[in-house]
Structures are given as structure tokens and as C-alpha cells.
Structure 1
């Protein structure tokens, strides 16, 4: 079983899915996903607020002093937005008189929307981020009230602040939603074990961290976790990112807000290629899991873009567009850790082979890791991790790691890299950087650029690490061959007997072969 700190099982996933299940009857998966995640955020910040509220009350401090919450990195939740009010209205309808004496009719959906607006008003970081569409008619209010009841019994803060609550919940739910959405569930959260592998190798202690397709913000959260777990200060990280999907971008902002991470995700959602929201950024660390094999990304308007230093990527596949975009945004000592489909390691079509050759010749590729299958919820495409470094310690060399046999199946369809697996890969890169790495057949090899050139600049790790050496079992070769050929002879004999038996049985019912 995979290490517990690493698993998508966050302790309350059954309740989360039960909440989604309550609404499943009359909503599409893509719709109720965001209903549930919005409630998770609201409940989580309410729990954190209540915890701080009780501390202030015990110390006889002003419980409505907003500064007392913000100084503890906790969002101030105004009275009308507190969970106790929402829980009270779970199955009620009625009129409420506002501060201007105006009466308005409310049900649970309207109460939640009112709470979201009030929280945004009191916390500028959340402006235009929270979902405010719970009052819409197609959302069954009886079912929504049942979801509120369920969440009332979940204490989010009991699950600890060291977890990427929103991201992990999104990750778990997406596995379930994908079963219903099928191929439409193409937008996915990068599994935390993949992100942790990137982070443990790159070690982003301080500087500018960038993700040009940031999804729900998992790369940033794991980077901040890495710093805090190594006694660093997350304020030493500056976070930059963007995402084309407006809902996913808001999810990232909520995710980061829960963790107290300040981030510049641009002022709106935007396509990274056509509207780069950070055009002058030079990042120290870039971590990304761009959409695999994205087609039709360039309508011709980007043909002369300065980002394509190593060649114009084919319009039918954006893999090398993503890679070159990130290289363009690297600082002089910057590093990249990114996920790419395995086709990018060997493809020669559309000029990709020439682009890859030029990047290798520029001595940018520090390492390639071939990952095991079944790591992702919504695709079985095999992937590799690319590590790019503008200032490699081992000049003229690239590390290849074959990690395809690593990982543990956590269920019938999903594999995870364990903490031990990730530590082994990180230690391998560290030894390579220090010049102390010894090649291990079937696992890792440090290879010169000249040797890569002999392989036509194909970067598939299996070509370089070779086949794992088999342990000598002590049986002399002649004796082993005699035994094996004898066993094979018996198998052939048994095979013929079975063939004859099958012919007889078929013949008995009138079928001769």
C-alpha cells in the first residue's frame, strides 16, 4: 500500500462523494462537482474562523476584530456567512430584512450565495473567486439542504492544515466524476505523487515559482509544503501562474487561499500561448503538467513568436510549444520540472526531432524519468518527467531514470508512487549533481551528449539504462539448459495431447479440423 501521506484517500472522501451523490439525480457531473467543492471551501474557512473565534473568546478579546483573524492568516467570516446560519437554513425558506429595511425571500441556495458575497466583500483576496450560483432554479434545494446537513457533521480542520484539502478533494472527486463524464473529463488535477516527485527533485526553497497551466494549484501547494517541511519560509516563494479555464482558475485561488499562499494568477483566465499574462517573468522554478498532445493550439498567428527559439512546434501537437514557452521564462539559473507524454521523447514528426536535438545540444536537459503507467485518473497515456536546467552542474551530461517498475497499485485502476520511490528518484538526481552517481543497469545512467547524439537525440530512458542484471542463482549453465529443455519437451508433449483431445471432442459433434 502506498504511504499514507501520499494517498488520494484524505479521510473523508466517502462523505464528499456522498454529498455529490445526493445531487447526482438532477445535475451533470461537471455541475455538481463545483457545487460540492464550493461548499467544502465555505465549510473549511468557517471551521477555521470558529476555532480562532473561540480562542479570542477565551482570552476575552474582541471576537469581531478582523485584524485578529487576518494576523493569524484566517479569513474573517461575517455573521451572515457563518456555518451556523447556513446549517439553520438547510431546510427553511422565509423572508429576511436587510440593513436597509428591505425584505427579501430566501431559501438555502440564496443563503449560501449571500454568504459567498459577504465573504468576498470582507476578504479582498477572494473577490470574484467564490461560486455564487446556488440559488439557481435547477439546483434542487431539498437535496442541497441534505448536503449542508452532511457537511455540518464534517469538521474540516480535524484533517489538518498540512493537506492540500481542496486539491486532494478535487483529485478524489475527479476520479469518480470521470467515470460519468468519460472523455469529457479531460481537465484533471495532477496526482500529488507526481507533483511531489517534481518538487523533491527541483527543491524550490526560494525564488519565483511559475506554472503556465496551473489547474487547481497543486504545484504551488506542494512547493510551499516542501519549503515548510524543510524548515524554510513560504514567504520566500513568489507564486505566478495562469489557467485558461475560468472555473479551474477560481478553484486554484480558493485552494491557495485556504493555505495562506499569496499568488499572482493574472487578473483573469487566459490561453497561455495567445495571451501570456506574465510576459516578462523569468522564473527560478517552473513546474507544470500541460495538456498532453494538445492539437490546434496555433492558428498561424504565433508562427513568429520569440518563444520558439529552437523551432516552430507543429500546430497538431503543443508538447514542444509548452516546453519552449517554459524555457523562454527561465531565469539564468532556473530549472523546469514538467510532465510530458512519452511521444515527446522520440517523435520526429513536424520538426519535433530537430527541436529536441537543439534543446539537447544547448545542454539544457538535466534528466528524464520514465514514469509507471496508471498514475492518472483520466488517461492511460504513458508519461515522462523532463527536468531542464539552465546551469547544470554536470555539463554535457543527462541523467536517465527508468521508474516504470516503481509505484504501488492502490486500487484496480490507479497506481501511486510511494514516499520511498520519490525519495529514491530525488537521491539519484542529487548523486548525479554531486558527481557521485554510479549507473545501475535497468534503473539509471548518466549519459554524455555525444552518446545521446549517437541515438539520434532520442531521450527514451530504456535506451540508456539497459536491462536490469539478473542475480546468479548458482545453477551451472549446462545443468540449467538441460533442465529447461527437458521441461520444454514435457510442455510440447502435453500440448500435443491437448490438441488431440480437442480434435476428438470437436469431431464427436461433427466439426473436424
Structure 2
């Protein structure tokens, strides 16, 4: 498959046959399973006759034994022992429905299950109904689309097939006003995550016969798993990366499993269901983990099960560090992934919106989760990405790198990388530069995606950001702070209640607090000295220096002091921009007024 977009265009045109009999929002229910079937048909074509011949020899064996034997003949983890293929299906136009079912039933168990998740059997009846009478035309249209693997580069071809599925999903989502971003992540973002995930282990991954595991708890169509596998194979063709995942959307799950089948991965490693409520890989631990969980996902439906696990298992379970607010389960996904880390060391790359960095006051669920991760010294880096990068949202997003095997130089520290390209925004808008060191504008917007990160070279885009991470040095784009820099005390500042100018005392002789004057202070664990160094400070020293001079009668209610953690990313890269001179602003206004008056004269004359 030389060009996945050309193939996507051909498949997209088949959807025109459904017009009138299907709503646009339902086109994917036919086109996606048919694309899977046609792809499997093309993949198996070279060995089809051999499989049919051998099927007669093993027909008395149990189905499981037959599957093993025939898979070996087919050369994949699946086969089809039906007499039909797409060419034979269209040769009998009067019996397409019954023959298509025969063809589907001829697949081995693992492949047949994939089609079942599409609920495609219902659509065979619907298309074969005399009122519609479009089944034959749809099958014939697909038979004319060649999805045969490229024999010279099957790995790349398989990756392109993933692109094709995602392109179709994006188009169907746009047609039905659904959220394409729920199904997949921009490939340049995945490549960046994969680069940063593996960069510390490149030496290990080049060893002969190395075997590692990769997991995505919200795997969608399997894009992250595919890019991860591609990276390792390019680095070391002899390495084996076993991939695992779980997905809640039936169509995405089916596509992911079909991709795993074709690439020779074990499709049973991909589980169906809600990761929060049923951990399909409960006993497994993984070397690497990648994920783009849905932003701001509501976990109300799973609330009962999640709270029960948190209460009963506490830190022995997945959610013992804390529960975030009900309308954003991002940090539940991260806790789940952390529970999958191996004691010997694992690495995690996950992309979130800004909320998990700072939402929640001290000792809230979110703050306690951040506290747990940072005090365990697991948060290695946070990378701020440009806005307008994802299909379903224009907001800024952030890649978190979490690991329980930091290198010596990174221990006790967190690296923040600002890859937003904010400084060049105005220059880009004015057309003075085409793109900056991080992103460029797309020729055509795709939903909310108006920008893309360049994927080639080392001085821009993915390569440059990877270098910023790998070099672990401070510069205008990279800041490195000790873990404690993100911690603070939330203290309650009280002032005395006064009546007729006198302080009211409690029965124990202490000043009584005036609740109307109560205030709060966030006191950082570290303060910056005049020379820029960060040094520890105490609540008392801060209070004496910053509060007492202004409120000499105030005190701290120590029983109410709380500890919080947050990462206010923007603050660390903020640069003050001096206001424009009044004379310059006045000149601009006068010039604009003159331009307006000249335009009026031209129109009136």
C-alpha cells in the first residue's frame, strides 16, 4: 500500500453507495468492518489455496488444533478455511449474503471475534434487503480496492494500514459531529512520546534477543502500540516488543485486534472493556506504557467500583493515593499505569490537558496524587505541547514522563520543557516566519487541529524536543527543579476578634479568631535567594518576613496546615513583556484613523 490517503479516498467513495439507506453517522458501521475483511482477504490470498488443501487433512481435529495447524500454513496468527474470497463472492451475485456469512465463519476464532465486535451480521441483512439491495455493490466495490501488503516493507505497510483506519475514523467522526480525538492521537505526538519513552534505554534495546513489553490502557485503534513497535524494530530488528492494551469502544477494539493479528502480535493481549472497572490485564506488569486517555473523562458510572477498590485495597490497589474530582479521571489512568510498573523499573509516557498539573487545593484528591508521585521521585519530566494540535480540542496539552528508574543525574529533580513556541506566535500570524522550532501551521485545518509538529530533523519539531529532553540541560526552553520546588504548605492565618477596640479572649486566655478576617497563604517549601538559588524555608520564617510586617497581631492555626503539590507550568516560563510606549500606540491609532477616512472618501467619491 504505497499511499494510505489514496486508499482512504477509494474506500470513502464506497460510502456513497450507502446514501439514502444509511444515515451519514452510520456509514462507519459498514465501511470499517468491510475494510478489515478486505484487508484480511488480501493478506491471506497468497496462501489461500494451501490452507484449503490442508484443511481437508485436519478437518477431524478439534477447532483449536485446526486453528494452530492452519495458522501455520497461512503464515499468520489467523486463517480462513471458507471456499470463498472477495473474488468468488461477487461471482455469485444472487447469494452474496449467505456466502459472505460463510466466508466470515471460515475465519479462525481470533479473527471471527473481531468481526463480531462490529455487529456486522445485522448490516448484512440490512444491505441485502430488497428495499436497499446494495450488498453486492458494496462487496464488489471493496473487491476492486487492493489492500495487499507491500512485500518489500510489510512493517511500514502495516503502519500505513493503521493510518488508513484512523483517516477513515476521522472522516466519519466529522460527518457525524462526533469526536475524532477520542479514537486516536496525532502521529507526531505519538512519535515524540515514543522517542522520549525509549531514549534512556536505547543501549538496552539494541542487545541481541532483547524482549520487552509495551502497554496502553486506552489503546483505541492501536496507534501508539504500532509506533512503539516500529521504533524498536528500526532500532534493533532482532528485538521483540510484545504489545498489550485495553479499549472500551467496540469498533476501535476490533480494528486494534485486526492490526495485531496481521502484524503477528498476540491478539489476546488486547482486552475489551472499561479499564477502571475491569482490569483485563490485572496480573501483568510492563516495561513501557504509553497512553492518551480521554481528556476530562467523567468517571461517575464507575464511581462505586473505583471508590470500593480505593477504600478496601488502599495502597495495595490502584487508586490508594487519592481520587480526583468526578468530572476528570485523568489521574485515575495514571495511577492505574503506575500500578503496572515493574519493581525492576518501568517507564510511562502519558498525555493530559493542563488540569492534572494544578487542579485541586492542598490535600484534595488531585494534590495528594501529585504529592505521592513527586515524593516517590517518579515524575521525570513534563513537556508542554502547542495548542491546536489535537483533532478534538484547541487547548494546550502536556506529556508526563513517569518512571521508577530515574538515572542518577535526574534523581530528585523534575525537568519542564516548554515546546509551545509561544514567542514566535505573533511572527507566525504576521507571516514573517513559516514555522518555528516546534510546530508549523497545517495547510488545512482538521477539526481543531491547525498545527503540527515537524517529524524530521534534529533542529526542529520532534527531533529538537527529544534533544531538549535527552540533553537534560537548562536553557530558554528547559527548566530543571528539585522535587520540593513543587510542594507548599497551605496555612490558615487568623486575626483576633475585637470588641470596642479590645481583643476578645477564649476561656483559656488565648485570642479568639475573627472568622471574617481569616485568610490563607500558600508557602512554598523552597524560596529563591537573590543569586537565584533555591533554598529550604520554614513556615515560621516566611510568616515573620511576609505576613507579620503587615499583620502584627496575626497568627497561624497550626492544626489547619495542609500540604499541597502543583506544577504551575506557565509561571516557570513567564517573561515580562514591557508595555508599548504611549507615543507608539497614539501613532498607530492616528494612522488607522487616516486609513479609515481615506477609505470613506474613496467610497463617497
In structure 2, the residue matched to 1:431 is 471
In structure 1, the residue matched to 2:353 is 341
* Aligned with residue 362 of structure 1, among 376, 383, 398: 376
Change (3 A) 1:41 1:399: same
Q: CA contact under 8 A between 1:208 and 1:285: conserved in structure 2?
A: yes
Query: Are 2:40 and 1:45 equivalent residues in the alignment?
Result: yes
Query: Are 2:116 and 1:128 equivalent residues in the alignment?
Result: no
In structure 2, the residue matched to 1:280 is 283
Q: CA contact under 8 A between 2:55 and 2:81: conserved in structure 1?
A: no
The alignment partner of 1:320 has SS state of helix
2:174 and 2:470 map into 1 onto residues whose CA distance is 39
1:428 and 1:240 map into 2 onto residues whose CA distance is 29
2:576 and 2:418 map into 1 onto residues whose CA distance is 10
- Tell me which moved more, 194-203 or 242-251: 242-251
2:585 and 2:330 map into 1 onto residues whose CA distance is 47
Shift of 1:364: 1.0
* Aligned with residue 223 of structure 2, among 215, 218, 225: 218
* Aligned with residue 589 of structure 2, among 462, 476, 492: 492
1:468 and 1:24 map into 2 onto residues whose CA distance is 56
Change (3 A) 1:42 1:69: farther
In structure 2, the residue matched to 1:97 is none
2:480 and 2:56 map into 1 onto residues whose CA distance is 60
Q: How does 1:128-277 map to 2 (within 5 A)?
A: 128-131=113-116, 132-133=120-121, 134-137=123-126, 142-157=133-148, 161=154, 162=156, 163-183=158-178, 187-203=182-198, 205=205, 206-233=211-238, 236-265=240-269, 269-277=272-280
1:228 and 1:376 map into 2 onto residues whose CA distance is 27
Q: CA contact under 8 A between 2:71 and 2:78: conserved in structure 1?
A: no
Change (3 A) 1:329 1:75: closer
Q: Which has the higher contact order (CA 8 A, sep 6+)?
A: 1
Deviation string, structure 1 residues 432-467 (Cα, Å, up to 9, x no partner)? 2xxxxx3231x2222222333349743354433455
Deviation string, structure 1 residues 317-343 (Cα, Å, up to 9, x no partner)? 211111111111111211111111222
Change (3 A) 1:257 1:28: farther
Change (3 A) 1:410 1:488: closer
Query: Are 2:484 and 1:450 equivalent residues in the alignment?
Result: yes
1:365 and 1:88 map into 2 onto residues whose CA distance is 60
Query: Are 2:475 and 1:440 equivalent residues in the alignment?
Result: yes
RMSD across aligned positions (CA): 3.5
Shift of 1:230: 1.3
The alignment partner of 2:218 has SS state of coil
The alignment partner of 1:380 has SS state of coil
Query: Are 2:68 and 1:113 equivalent residues in the alignment?
Result: no
In structure 2, the residue matched to 1:402 is 418
What TM-score, normalized by structure 2, do the two folds share? Answer: 0.67
The alignment partner of 2:248 has SS state of coil
Change (3 A) 1:398 1:87: farther
Q: CA contact under 8 A between 1:369 and 1:403: conserved in structure 2?
A: yes
* Aligned with residue 81 of structure 1, among 79, 84, 96: 84
Q: Any unmatched runs of 5+ in structure 2?
A: 58-68, 206-210, 422-437, 488-523, 527-563
Number of matched pairs: 458
Shift of 1:185: 5.6
1:15 and 1:340 map into 2 onto residues whose CA distance is 35
Shift of 1:270: 2.1
Q: CA contact under 8 A between 1:130 and 1:254: conserved in structure 2?
A: no
* Aligned with residue 338 of structure 2, among 321, 324, 327: 327
2:480 and 2:8 map into 1 onto residues whose CA distance is 42
Query: Are 2:462 and 1:422 equivalent residues in the alignment?
Result: yes
2:147 and 2:371 map into 1 onto residues whose CA distance is 50
1:68 and 1:139 map into 2 onto residues whose CA distance is 31
Q: CA contact under 8 A between 2:248 and 2:273: conserved in structure 1?
A: yes
2:262 and 2:576 map into 1 onto residues whose CA distance is 45
1:40 and 1:138 map into 2 onto residues whose CA distance is 16
Q: CA contact under 8 A between 1:297 and 1:318: conserved in structure 2?
A: no
Shift of 1:424: 2.3
Q: Any unmatched runs of 5+ in structure 1?
A: 94-105, 433-437, 470-480, 509-513
The alignment partner of 1:182 has SS state of coil
Q: CA contact under 8 A between 1:208 and 1:237: conserved in structure 2?
A: yes
The alignment partner of 2:306 has SS state of coil
Change (3 A) 1:126 1:499: closer
Change (3 A) 1:402 1:62: same
Shift of 1:241: 2.0
Query: Are 2:33 and 1:33 equivalent residues in the alignment?
Result: no
